[in-house]
Amino acid sequence: MKCGEGHTIYFLGIGGIGMSALARYYHSQGYTVAGYDRTPSPLTKQLENEGMAIHYEDNTNLLPALIDFVVYTPAVPCDLKEFEALRQRRIPILKRSEALGKVSENHFTIGVAGTHGKTTTTAMVAHILHTCGTNTTAFIGGIANNFDSNLLLGQGKDSLLVAEADEFDHSFLHLHPDISIINSIDADHLDIYGDRQHLVQSFNDFAQLTAQCVIAKEDLDIKASNLIRFGLGSECDYQALIHRSEKGTTQFSIVHDGRTTEIELPMAGRHNVLNATAAFAASCEKGLHPNDIAQALATFRGVKRRFDIRVNNERHCYIDDYAHHPEEIRSCLMAVREAFPKKRITLVFQPHLYSRTRDFMEGFAEVLALADELILLDIYPARELPIEGITSAALLGMVRLADKKRVAKSELVSLIDRKKPELLITMGAGDIDRFVEPLENLIKTW
C-alpha cells in the first residue's frame, strides 16, 4: 500500500466514527480518499470540507475509476451493490480493523480495550502524551474535546500510536500493541461470541499480542506474563484512592511504585477515576513523569457523548451519553447522582440492537429504573432485522418505575419542551445523537 498522489482509497461506511478517523489519517498521508455512507451527517460534512468525495446513494456508477484498495466496516450490508461491484473488480478489500492493524505495525502502539471506557481512556492517553510533548498519533472512537476530532496526527513515521481496540468481531486481534490497557470485560456482542467465556478468551488473545506490558483492571480474568493491575484495591500496582467528588470534579490519588501522586480530574464518576488510573499507568510505563501526567489530566476536557454536560445552569442541566449496555447505564446514572444529588433525573434512552436488548432485557429493566423518569425510544436496529417479541414496549413493561413512557422520535423534542425537566439525560448508541444539538438549543431558551 504505497501512499502519495494518484493513489485512491475507497471507504464503505466512511461516516462511522472509526472509519472517519482512518479516512482522515490516510488523507493526511497523501492518498485521495473517497467514500460512501447511507446518510449525511455533521461528520461526513466535515470530511467533505477536508477534501474527501462522499456520496450517499448506493450507485456503482459513482465509484472512482481507479481504486488502490477498499476499507469497509462490518456495519455495511453485505448485499450493497457497490460492495459486490468492488469484489468483482478484484480490488483488495480490508476491514477497518485490518487497515488499522497495518498502520500499527509501523509504530510503537498503545492499544486501549474494554467493553466499556475505552473511548474516554484512549482520549486521556492521547491527551497526556500530547500535552507532555510526545509525538503522538491517536485513533479515538469519539470526538475528543481537547482536539475537537477523533484523530490526533503526529509528525512523521516516528510518532507513537494510540488506538482504540474494539472487541466487536474480534477487531482488536489485528493490532500490534506494545502496551495494552484492558478496562472491562462485561458480556456483550453475544451475537459474535456466543457467551462471556469466549469473549474473555478473545481479550486474553489480545493480551498475548502485547509486546511490553498489559495493564488490566484488578478483577479481570486476564493472564499474561507482563501483567500490571490497576484499580481501587490495595494489591494493585496502580491503586486509586478517591478523596472527594463535587460539582463534576474528582480529587483522588494514585499509589504506585512506592509513591503517591495527587490527581484532580475535571470529571465525575468512579468509572472515570478508573479510566484515568489506567491512562496514568500506561503513560508511566511509557516513561512519562507522574507529576506531568497529573497536570495533563487536570486539563482533560472529555469526549463528546461521554458524560457530556451540554447545559448546566441554575434551572436546568442536560447531559448526553453514549451508554448502551446495562453496566454503562449504571455507571453513568451513579455518576449523575454523585454530581447532582438533589436533582430529579429524566432519562431518554434509545436501545441499540435487537440482539443486545434481548440478551440483557432484565439488566436494562433494572438499571433504567434508577432514573426518576424514563422516556423510551424504539430500538435502533443498526445492522439487524427485528426479533419477534423484542421491542421497546416489552422492555418498558419490565421497568419498575411509575413515571415511564414510550415515545416516537418525532414527538421527543415537543415532549421535552412541555415537560421542561430539571435534569435531562439522552443516552444510547444509535441516532439519538441527532437530537443533542436541538435539545441543547431548546433548553437554553427556557
66-117: pLDDT as tens digits: 999 999 998 888 889 999 999 999 999 999 999 999 999 989 999 999 988 9
Q: Identify the pLDDT of residue 245.
A: 80
Distance of alpha carbon 291 from alpha carbon 434, whole angstroms: 39
Does the pLDDT value for residue 1 go beyond 50? Answer: no
Q: For residue 405, what is the enclosing H or E element?
A: strand 404-406
pLDDT band at 168 (very low <50, low <70, confident <90, very high): confident
Model confidence over 395-404: pLDDT tens digits?
A: 999 999 999 9
Q: What is the DSSP-derived secondary structure letter of residue 377? A: P
Does the pLDDT value for residue 132 go beyond 50? Answer: yes
The answer to whether the beta carbons of residues 64 and 11 sit under 8 Å apart is no
% of the chain exceeding 90 in pLDDT: 85
Q: Identify the pLDDT of residue 269.
A: 87
**Nearest partner of 123 among 310, 278, 302, judged by Cα:** 302
Distance of alpha carbon 113 from alpha carbon 122, whole angstroms: 9
* Sequence-separated (6 or more) residues with CB below 8 Å from residue 431: 350, 380
Which residue is associated with the grid cell 454536560? Answer: 309
pLDDT band at 332 (very low <50, low <70, confident <90, very high): very high
Model confidence over 28-57: pLDDT tens digits?
A: 999 999 999 998 988 999 999 999 999 999
**Nearest partner of 120 among 307, 250, 350, judged by Cα:** 307
The answer to whether the beta carbons of residues 164 and 199 sit under 8 Å apart is no
Q: Identify the pLDDT of residue 239.
A: 98
Mean per-residue pLDDT of the chain: 94
pLDDT band at 196 (very low <50, low <70, confident <90, very high): confident
Backbone region of residue 308 per phi and psi (left: phi > 0; alpha: psi in -120 to 50; beta: other values):
beta
The CATH class of the 308-443 domain is: alpha beta
Is it true that 8-96 and 105-297 share their CATH fold? no
8 alpha carbon, distance to own chain's centre: 28
Burial 280-309 (b: 16+ CB within 10 A, else e): bbbbbbbebebeebbebbeebebbbbbbbb
Q: Summarize the confidence of residues 199-218 as an average pLDDT.
A: 96
The CATH class of the 105-297 domain is: alpha beta
Q: Identify the pLDDT of residue 420.
A: 97
Does the pLDDT value for residue 167 go beyond 90? Answer: no
Distance of alpha carbon 323 from alpha carbon 156, whole angstroms: 35
Q: Identify the pLDDT of residue 2.
A: 44
Q: Summarize the confidence of residues 336-348 as an average pLDDT.
A: 93
pLDDT band at 170 (very low <50, low <70, confident <90, very high): confident
pTM of the model: 0.87
Architecture per CATH, 8-96 = 3-Layer(aba) Sandwich (3.40)
Report domain extents, the chain: 8-96, 105-297, 308-443
